[in-house]
Amino acid sequence: MTIRKEVADFVALGTLPPFTAEPEVIARHEEALHRIQRPATVDEAAILLKCFGPDDCFGLAWTLLHLIESAPESPLVEPPPAEANQWLHRLWTGLVNAGRR
């Protein structure tokens, strides 16, 4: 499994913070996320799935979602469990609507 340094650096920050987090924390995530060039690999997309936070974090969750979608294949191979993060459900719904699952 090969993961680029930019992806590893972003993942090391942990999940996206809530929109109520300190501005510096949000800025660190934003800067790290924007350093990742598209497309993501399937391996990168798989580890990025764990980075969604509790809300959209001022749109950063959408950026993360689109980065994951840039992988040649989705790392999601089955529907996420009911209690999974809302962003995983959005990714799954997108795959189903596109006829990819």
Kindly list the domain boundaries of the chain, sorted by start residue: 5-76
The candidate with the shortest Cα–Cα distance to 59, out of 85, 35, 87, 80, is: 87
pTM: 0.95
Dump pLDDT digits (tens) for 59-95: 999 999 999 999 999 999 999 999 999 999 999 999 9
Q: Is the pLDDT of residue 44 over 90?
A: yes
Instruction: Please give the pLDDT value at position 36.
Output: 98
Instruction: Please give the pLDDT value at position 11.
Output: 98
The candidate with the shortest Cα–Cα distance to 58, out of 34, 26, 87, 25, is: 26
